[in-house]
Amino acid sequence: MNIQPQRYWREIPQRYRLEAGKCRKCGKLCFPPRRKCAACGGASWDTVQLPRKGRLLTYTVVHSSTDEFAKLVPYAVAIVDLGNGVRLTAQVVDVDPGELCAGMPVRLEFRKLGEAGKAGVICYGYKAVPA
Amino acid sequence: MKGVKVGIVGYGAYIPLNRIRAEEIAKVWGADAPSYKRGLMLEEKSVPSADQDTATMSVEASRRALERCPVDPREIGAVYVGSESHPYAVKPTGTIVAEALGAVPHCHTADLEFACKAGSEGMFIASQLVRAGACRYALAVGADTSQGAPADALEYSAAAGAAAFLFGREGLIAELVETHAYMTDTPDFWRREHMFYPKHGGRFTGEEAYFRHVVSCTRELMEKAKLKPRDFRYAVFHQPNGKFPYRAGQLAGFSKEQIDTGCLVPKLGNTYSGASPLGLSAVLDSARAGDMILMVSYGSGAGSDGFIFQATKALAEVQDKAPKTWDMLLSTRRKYLDYGSYAKHRGKIRMNEEQ
Amino acid sequence: MREVAVIGVGMSPWGELWRSSLRDLFAQAALEAMKDSGAPRIDSMVVGCMSSGLFNGQEHLGSLMADYAGLRGIPATRVESACASGGAAFRTGVLEVASGASDFVLVGGVEKMTDVSGDAATRALSAASDFEYEAYQGATFPALYAMVARAHMDRYGTTRKQLAMVAVKNHENGLLNPRAQFRQRISVDAVLGSVMVADPLRLLDCSPITDGAAAVVLCPKELAVKLKKKPLIKVAGIGQASDCIALAQRKDITRFEAAALAAQRAYKAAGIGPDEVDFAEVHDCFTIAEICVLEALGFCKTGQGGRFTEEGHTSRLGRKPINPSGGLKSKGHPVGATGVAQIVELVEQLRGSAGERQLSKVRCGLAENMGGTCGSAVVSILTREGA
């Protein structure tokens, strides 16, 4: 992964703690956080941590990827629905491709997403595992 | 032990789902699997996926400790991670864990190493910090994804796992009764910088290394606490293979039954800095109020950290709040790897250089 | 606003072109378009290119391309909207003429994708997705479209065979296109047997990596008349729309909302509806994309894109020919050039100069160009006036 430490570090609250914004005006959750609420245009937020449990909305199994994912191929990627209107994209691991199905309950686990080469920063974040 | 009552208020364990059987390893190196299995008392070991390392397992074990004891993470005043396989040579694992838990920024963190006792080291320091009143809660994690050199005996046992213990003064589930540390400079097993695999002194790692330190520490610890082996329900010893803990226990006067629950080797292998901590987590999963628990770790180089805990009534309320260690060991979701997949995940295959 | 006509078209060869550089590809297409147009001068240039920075280490394309097209000194701007860069560049050029700011505008699209390794090209393309929350997570481009495919199949019963038929049809069309990158017939079985890329999408469901450029010259209608351009090809309407680029944040991941919105805007501007479109060039970066776009454009009901294809309506002889050029699948997909090449195809069809692939009775064509997983879309409607 071609990633410098500062760009990696900036997203740590989201990648490590699933920090989202909760709009003070309309209550909608926004992940990752941003300045202007896409729902109501509000610009005032509280920080909340998303729950680490959800369900798969849909998924695929990647058979062809770039070098950095070579050791994991084939690996599953899915859109995970965490409820309350929040969805995110994540790999699904510790699972047989045949087990995957829309609606499958999962939880988000702390995993290594990659590294900026053998000498570069190690990139951590979340992946889904069957709940 | 003088002073304020301190002890474990939460604990959690994490073991990857991948496994490799002893037969699979023996096959590749033309070795006799049954004799390795008998000699090491080991059937299979855990294998971390390419996306797991000491940091990831430490975070998950710590999250489970907090599931058993849901404190505000900002009240955790110290986070220690002990391992022989920290992901970075220079850059702490502890800060990754502290950040993931939300214990940052007002938190003391240190990465510890002392071969297989780096995890218990953290427990030693964390418990004393809380006893001294320096912080309300302190977390200690023992975790490893250590490598065994191919075709070496250690390849059968070098495994991956993590256990985390939150220490505090209130809501104790296991009170810390006594501690003792015993060490000497004994180079029985080591790894030089830039070397990928460790080296060891073969049979020298037995009598003067493991046994001397473990048994001496155990005897001194019981002497300090004025307790005898029969006072204990459980004894957890460092477990590089399935034979040593029973032999050490026997030398110190313990029975096989006292050691069984906390000896995970046959189904797990040796999780190095996670070994005796995971043994302790397995015991805590089963222990009942009043049970006395002995835990003595061993780190090559060499030394032992000894602890005596007593389970409280509160333990029963939290045991089921996070996955249990033996359940993880025997999980029906375990995935058995062939040697090639194992070598791939463990980075033993030379890949193309980055462009 | 003035009415705008397309008076010249040009294309470079398309394929894996080791001997052609980024600037040379653009120049070839631009010079051909300028010659074809008969325009006395070019007042302004718009360049569509997704990622010359990542593919070639080269930015500042407006000036570079103006210079190499022999147009040093004119205002020249690069427009980017991922894979919709070409379409967005076209809209920019059209607005410049329509507003009266310029008379003769050259719009060119180009992408030179083979100057980096396959892996680097894949990474450059994934910059069209949400880098921090999709690419970082290991969601490759095919993976994102594969999830759309799976959701579409789960919800509407779209079949693997229907997806394959999109690729088969586009290859049939490409056979008749001398400029197509891949001119070979493929079968449904070949598609279903090709190597899996991201389940359920296989290699033959995916458009290729291509080097190429395309260019058009625009001018106000009255000047096209003066230049005696016959038949007159007019831009009847253009619509563009954006959406969140992360697939996970869409309300309905099976619906290409930006394409639907862009189409509504284009139809309104042109004063027509989907039924009046005779044929279309759409963005089949993956087979599922064409199916979803048919629905977004209103050519068939929601969820029926697969069935519509299977029933043959989108083939050359069907009632709604889609991708007579061969589409991205067969013709190739030099990212920034695609949107402009779609316009080139519309013009050639409407002029009656499409050679072997000429469709009969065409007066109104539509081009749909989109970026990423339809995070942006441009829909252009061109009509023929006169004989």
Which residue of chain B comes nearest to A95, CA vs CA?
Answer: B333
Q: pLDDT tens, B33-51?
A: 999 999 999 999 999 999 9
Q: Are residues B262 and B233 in the same domain?
A: yes
Q: Could you give the CA distance from residue C347 to residue C217 in angstroms, rounded to a whole number?
A: 11
Q: How far is CA C191 from CA B9, C45, C87, C174, C284, in A?
A: 59, 40, 29, 16, 15
Smallest CA–CA separation between A35 and chain B, in Å?
23
Q: Could you give the CA distance from residue B167 to residue B137 in angstroms, rounded to a whole number?
A: 5
Does residue B95 form part of some domain? Answer: yes
* Residue whose C-alpha is closest to residue B235's, from B269, B210, B260: B260
Q: Could you give the CA distance from residue C177 to residue C342 in angstroms, rounded to a whole number?
A: 13
* Residue whose C-alpha is closest to residue C331's, from C318, C321, C345, C349: C345
pLDDT-derived band of residue C312, with 50, 70 and 90 as boundaries? very high
User: For testing the chain B interface, which of A111, A113, A121 should be mutated: the one with the most B CBs within 10 Å?
Assistant: A111
Q: Could you give the CA distance from residue B319 to residue C31 in angstroms, rounded to a whole number?
A: 77
Q: What angle do helix axes B212-225 and B244-252 make, rounded to 10 degrees?
A: 40
Q: How many residues does chain B have?
A: 355
Q: Are residues B169 and B186 in the same domain?
A: no
A49 contact B CB<8A: yes
Q: Are residues B232 and B155 in the same domain?
A: no
* Residue whose C-alpha is closest to residue B134's, from B78, B74, B175: B78
Pairing of strands A105-115, A122-130: antiparallel
B124 lies in which domain range? 7-173+323-330
Q: Are residues B130 and B23 in the same domain?
A: yes
Strands of the sheet containing A29-30, edge to edge, are: A29-30, A19-23, A45-49
A130 contact B CB<8A: yes
Does residue B348 form part of some domain? Answer: no
Catalytic residues of C: 83, 333
Give backbone dihedrals phi and psi of A2, rounded to 5 degrees, phi first: -85, 90
Q: Could you give the CA distance from residue C66 to residue C120 in angstroms, rounded to a whole number?
A: 28
- Token pair, residue B124, equals 């030693």
Q: How far is CA C82 from CA B113, B246, C200, C340, C372, in A?
A: 49, 65, 24, 13, 6
Q: Are residues B39 and B103 in the same domain?
A: yes
Q: Could you give the CA distance from residue B29 to residue B20 in angstroms, rounded to a whole number?
A: 14
Other residues' Cβ atoms within 10 Å of the Cβ of residue C161: 15
SS (H, E, C) chain A: CCCCHHHHHHCHHHHHHCEEEEECCCCCEECCCCCCCCCCCCCCEEEEECCCEEEEEEEEEECCCCHHHCCCCCEEEEEEEEECCEEEEEEECCCCHHHCCCCCEEEEEEEEEEECCCCCCEEEEEEEEEC
- Token pair, residue C372, equals 């990423």
Q: Are residues B97 and B242 in the same domain?
A: no
Q: Are residues B250 and B286 in the same domain?
A: yes
Q: How many residues does chain A have?
A: 131
A75 lies in which domain range? 5-130
Does residue B353 form part of some domain? Answer: no
Q: How far is CA B65 from CA B23, B68, B313, in A?
A: 35, 5, 18
Residues in a beta bridge with B165:
B11, B140
| pTM of model > 0.90 | yes
Does residue B337 form part of some domain? Answer: no
Q: Could you give the CA distance from residue B79 to residue B141 in angstroms, rounded to a whole number?
A: 8
Q: Are residues B280 and B304 in the same domain?
A: yes
* Residue whose C-alpha is closest to residue C113's, from C56, C181, C182: C56
Does residue B139 form part of some domain? Answer: yes
Q: Could you give the CA distance from residue B341 to residue B319 in angstroms, rounded to a whole number?
A: 34
Instruction: Provide residues of C within 8 Å CB-CB of chain B.
Output: 117, 119-120
Q: How many domains does chain A have?
A: 1
Domains in chain C and their CATH numbers? Answer: 4-117+209-232 (3.40.47.10), 120-207+235-385 (3.40.47.10)
Write down the pLDDT at residue B354. Answer: 61
Residues of A in contact with C121 (CB under 8 A): none
Q: Could you give the CA distance from residue C299 to residue C383 in angstroms, rounded to a whole number?
A: 18
| Contact (CB<8Å) A64/C132 | no
Q: Could you give the CA distance from residue B259 to residue B243 in angstroms, rounded to a whole number?
A: 11
Q: pLDDT tens, C263-300?
A: 999 999 999 999 999 999 999 999 999 999 999 999 99
Does residue B308 form part of some domain? Answer: yes
Q: Are residues B164 and B287 in the same domain?
A: no
| Contact (CB<8Å) B99/A127 | no
CATH label of the domain that carries residue B286: 3.40.47.10
Question: What are the counts of helices (DSSP H) followed by strands (DSSP E) for chain B?
Answer: 14, 14
Chains that touch B (3 or more CB pairs under 8 A): A, C
Smallest CA–CA separation between C255 and chain A, in Å?
14
For residue C240, give the H/E element and its range: strand C232-242
Write down the pLDDT at residue C387. Answer: 52
Catalytic residues of B: 84, 116, 238
* Residue whose C-alpha is closest to residue C48's, from C15, C84, C16, C23: C84
Which residue of chain A comes nearest to B18, CA vs CA?
Answer: A94
SS (H, E, C) C168-210: HHHHHHHCCCCCCCCCCCCCHHHHHHCCEEECCEEHHHECCCC
Residues in a beta bridge with B46:
B19
Q: Are residues B304 and B246 in the same domain?
A: yes
Put residue C28 in one of left, alpha, beta given phi > 0 → left and psi -120 to 50 → alpha.
Answer: alpha
Mean pLDDT, range C315-339, rounded to an integer: 97
Residues in a beta bridge with C106:
C45, C217
Write down the pLDDT at residue B147. Answer: 83
Q: Do residues B51 and A112 make contact, with C-beta atoms less than 8 angstroms apart?
A: yes
Which residue of chain A comes nearest to B103, CA vs CA?
Answer: A17
Does residue B346 form part of some domain? Answer: no
Which residue of chain A comes nearest to B340, CA vs CA?
Answer: A71
Q: pLDDT tens, A72-109?
A: 999 999 999 999 999 999 999 999 999 999 999 999 99
Q: Are residues B22 and B140 in the same domain?
A: yes
Write down the pLDDT at residue B88. Answer: 96
| Contact (CB<8Å) B49/A93 | yes
| Contact (CB<8Å) A64/C197 | yes
For residue C226, give the H/E element and its range: helix C221-226
B102 contact A CB<8A: yes
3-class DSSP state of C318: coil
Q: How many domains does chain B have?
A: 2
Q: How many CA atoms lie within 13 A of C305 on its CB side?
A: 27
Q: Are residues B154 and B186 in the same domain?
A: no
Q: How many CA atoms lie within 13 A of C369 on its CB side?
A: 34
User: For testing the chain A interface, which of B51, B57, B67, B328 should be mutated: the one with the most A CBs within 10 Å?
Assistant: B51
What is the predicted ipTM? 0.95
Q: Could you give the CA distance from residue B173 to residue B169 in angstroms, rounded to a whole number?
A: 10
- Token pair, residue A4, equals 């410098």
Buried b (16+ CB within 10 A) or exposed e, B184-196: eebebbebeeeee
Q: Could you give the CA distance from residue C348 to residue C324 in angstroms, rounded to a whole number?
A: 11
Write down the pLDDT at residue B352. Answer: 78
The percent of residues above 70 in pLDDT, for chain C, comes to 100
pLDDT below 50 — which residues of chain B? 355
3-class DSSP state of C75: coil
Does residue B343 form part of some domain? Answer: no
Residue C386 clears pLDDT 90, i.e. is over it? no
pLDDT below 70 — which residues of chain A? none
CATH label of the domain that carries residue A38: 2.40.50.840
Write down the pLDDT at residue B148. Answer: 84
Other residues' Cβ atoms within 10 Å of the Cβ of residue A74: 15
Smallest CA–CA separation between A94 and chain C, in Å?
16
Residues in a beta bridge with B178:
B308
